[in-house]
Structure 1
Amino acid sequence: MTVGITALISALTILGGCASSNRGNVGTHSSATQNVNARPGTSEARQAVAYWAQAYEKDRKNRRAILGYSEALSANEQFPQAKAVLRSGVIANPRDKEIASAYGKVLAMNGELPEALSVIKQAQDPQNPDWKLLSAEGAVLDQMGRHENARQVYQQALKIVPDDASLLNNLGLSYLLSNKLPEAEYTLRKASALPTADSRVRQNLALVLGVQGKFSEAEKVATAELDPKQAEANIAYLKTMLQNRG
């Protein structure tokens, strides 16, 4: 049995760091950053774009505005605009590793994987590696199907930040993409137990459990994160998918 790659790639954390740490770097306007999580096309998503567009127009070189605006655009699936904002941001802030990482993320989301990898690696300092850039590099390598290389990069990053939930999340999904299910479960359990783990990490654990046929435990984990009916529907869909795959 192989696992559907499209659904898993969307769960890879390219920027590194959990939601709280990343958004804290972007800005302190809670309503705007929370709306970045809204579904594309909703009024909340459009409001987030409008808020950050105004901030960006005031100062196009401001890193806070660049990151906030590009994230809001990406969340609303306005990828070409996000790409343009970050390309300008990289030019204006050539040494800013977070902007470079965000640019790599958008390139990867556009399917421009070799370019994304190049941008991320160029921003890296080999003598003093940045773990977020390593996480970004690993996520892109996973999308390219180079899972063994990706895991080597994640392990390098984990030497810098041993208990980062986003890194462990990516490592666990890399194992899953390689159909190394026990390793994936072990790693995602470790990630989900950390205080910095977000809902996405625990949902990924539920996915790994379900893929192994541990539906009861998977539903228990999923129900803690989702509406019970949605969790039940997700597990039912996963059962059907696995049955169809034989």
Structure 2
Amino acid sequence: MTRSSFFSVKPRLWQAAAGCALLTLALSSCSTAQRQADRLTTGSIPSVNLAKPVESMTAPELAAAEKTYGAAYDRNPKDRNTGLSYASILRMNGKNTQALAVMQQVAIAHPTDRDVLAAYGKAQAAAGQLEQALATINRAQTPDRPDWRLYSAEGAVLDQLGRSEEARDKYRLALDGQPNEPSVMSNLGMSYVLSGDLKTAEKYLRNAAELPSADSRVRQNLALVVGLQGRFAEAETIARRELTETQAEANVTYLRAMLSQQNAWAKLADKKPQATN
């Protein structure tokens, strides 16, 4: 089953905004929803040296990749590309503690590599070490050569810490460096879900979804926000696009279960929108 779904939403965001404590940052099980939760930022630092993006791998493909890269890592735990790829695969398999341990070793061997530090910060965030993740990402960022991906990753961590206004500032800095980047616009939209401003969230997500470079994860986030506003039929239509019938049914079934919980979306609808900066 593909990992491209609306379940890239941050777990703590769901808990705070939707009242649905259905996901955990630990991602301990192998459900589609939890594996997608690692896509905390849809524009996160990409894995390297993989023939296929981990987000689009099936469960058997992920298992095979974990075995292959695990063996390569055992042979040379200091290899940069192997470590980055192996940690990414481990996170997608819900093995966040192990992924963090791998990235710790890679970071020791490559202490000034920005991509390594960024991936290390992501591993820390996935393992629940949010303040440490923020410090690592900040260490990776350089004022003279700012990286929009790092700004986006920083924003995602700040959102998890409940510092949504600061997070949105980081997303806007990311958009300054990479205008109309759909992944960042999606993150910005989902940040507004955290404060219950679903209309603003939908605006950003619709704009992101209309961009030619937008991938399925952006459109699935849009489906989620539409569903939270009670427009379930429209949400299901969006959620079914681009996916196989089996994949779509799994996503829609989960969406229905989440949105059918007592007052889950109604509580959001009752909140006053936050002003857009």
Q: Is the 8 A contact 2:183 2:208 kept in 1?
A: yes
Q: Is the 8 A contact 1:172 1:187 kept in 2?
A: yes
> Does residue 141 of the first structure (1) align with residue 145 of the second (2)?
no
Tell me the equivalent position of 1:16: 43
Deviation at 1:73, TM superposition (A): 1.4
Over the aligned positions, Cα root-mean-square deviation in angstroms equals: 2.7
Kindly provide the amino acid, as one letter, of the partner of residue 16 in structure 1.
Answer: G
Deviation at 1:68, TM superposition (A): 0.7
Q: 1:123 to 1:130 in 2, by over 3 A?
A: same
Question: Structure 1 stretches of 5 or more lacking a match?
Answer: none
Q: 1:88 to 1:161 in 2, by over 3 A?
A: same
Q: 1:5 to 1:172 in 2, by over 3 A?
A: farther
Choose from 102, 107, 115 the match for 1:98: 115
> Does residue 233 of the first structure (1) align with residue 248 of the second (2)?
no
Matched ranges for 1:191-230 at <5 A: 191-226=208-243, 227=245, 229-230=249-250
Q: Relative to structure 2, which stretch is displaced further, 119-128 or 223-232?
A: 223-232
Matched ranges for 1:1-246 at <5 A: 2-4=17-19, 7=23, 10=37, 13-14=40-41, 16-17=43-44, 22-23=46-47, 26-30=48-52, 33-34=53-54, 37-39=57-59, 43-226=60-243, 227=245, 229-230=249-250, 232-241=252-261, 243=263, 246=266
Q: 1:236 to 1:83 in 2, by over 3 A?
A: closer
Q: Is the 8 A contact 2:91 2:99 kept in 1?
A: yes
Task: Measure, in 2, the Cα distance between the counterparts of 1:244 and 1:162.
Answer: 34
Q: Is the 8 A contact 1:35 1:45 kept in 2?
A: no
- Residues paired across the two proteins, number: 236
TM-score (norm 2): 0.75
Kindly provide the amino acid, as one letter, of the partner of residue 108 in structure 2.
Answer: I
Deviation at 1:56, TM superposition (A): 2.3
Deviation at 1:131, TM superposition (A): 1.1
Deviations 1:77-129 (A, max 9, x none): 22222111111111212222222111111111111111111111111112321
Deviation at 1:218, TM superposition (A): 1.2
Q: Is the 8 A contact 1:14 1:135 kept in 2?
A: yes
Q: 1 or 2, which has the higher helix percentage?
A: 1
Q: 1:49 to 1:233 in 2, by over 3 A?
A: closer
Runs of 4+ in structure 1 over 6 Å off = none
Kindly provide the amino acid, as one letter, of the partner of residue 13 in structure 1.
Answer: L
Higher RCO by CA contacts (8 Å cutoff, separation 6 or greater): 2
Deviation at 1:243, TM superposition (A): 3.9
| SS of aligned partner of 1:52 | helix
Deviations 1:193-222 (A, max 9, x none): 223322221111001111112223212101
* Percent identity of paired positions between Structure 1 and Structure 2: 40
| SS of aligned partner of 1:105 | helix
Deviation at 1:35, TM superposition (A): 8.1
Task: Measure, in 2, the Cα distance between the counterparts of 1:238 and 1:151.
Answer: 26
